[in-house]
Structure 1
Amino acid sequence: MSDVAEPDYDHILRSNLERVFNERDPQQRARALAELTTEVPLMYEPDAVVTGRDAISAVAGRLLAQFGPDFAFVPEGRAVGHHGMASLRWRAGPRGGDPVVTGIDTAEIVAGRIARLWVLLDR
């Protein structure tokens, strides 16, 4: 057994969805990224590797702009994790409507912050 306390994986990954990927204000999103991620986080998307807080913020902003004002990411269940790795299933689409995409975020957590994030989409 490890004496090191595990971080609150559910809080970290839910905060990432709500405060980064659902945040339409770029300054608020930047503050959230500064709190939730390491200095130079990496995000692995199916078609790209995104490096750094500013680039991740830009991806989130483009998604929100592309899908309109009612689009939102919603967590499904609680995140699970241990030993610095955590996953959270989510769905995204118009608030109150059917999802247009579902997936799982899997993150490497270092010192309570997201260092690397894999965005896995259900095809």
Structure 2
Amino acid sequence: MTTFDTTVQRYLDVWNTTDPAERLSRITEVFTPDVRYVDPLAAVEGHEALNQLIGAAQGQFPGMVFTPGGPSDAHHDQARFTWQLGPAGGEALVIGFDVAELGSDGRIRTVLGFLDRVPS
């Protein structure tokens, strides 16, 4: 497992943390304070906004979990990776592709997300 694979797993762990206070604590460990997250449905900046966004996504897909869709592909301070969202051990309902850029401290500072498959 590469360093980026570990970072991606920590990223997905944040998305799977349902307690808002615990999730915010994890967000501060994984993301820079000025983190910028953009996907087709949202654009937020900062820890609090990201925490709220993740909580809203969990409300939209209750009981679903994020899992890696394969290994990350990385160079320099950026990585691209796929993820899946679905019931634990079940078929993915949503599949996405993200590009993450790390800050100088090794935390994620930017995420650019794309949705490859969404429920109709």
* Pair 1:47-2:47 in alignment: no
* Pair 1:74-2:67 in alignment: yes
Cα distance in 2 between the residues matched to 1:15 and 1:99? 20
Q: TM-score, normalised by structure 2?
A: 0.89
Q: Please identify runs of 4+ aligned residues in structure 1 that moved more than 6 A.
A: none
Identity %, equivalent residues? 34
Write out per-residue CA displacement over residues 68-94 of structure 1, whole angstroms, 9 at most, x where no aligned residue: 12x001102211211111012111111
Kindly name which structure, 1 or 2, has the bigger radius of gyration based on alpha carbons.
1
Write out per-residue CA displacement over residues 40-85 of structure 1, whole angstroms, 9 at most, x where no aligned residue: 100011133111111111111111122112x001102211211111
* Pair 1:89-2:65 in alignment: no
Aligned residues: 115
**Higher RCO (Cα < 8 Å, 6 or more apart):** 1
Q: TM-score, normalised by structure 1?
A: 0.87
Cα distance in 2 between the residues matched to 1:17 and 1:64? 12
* Pair 1:116-2:110 in alignment: yes
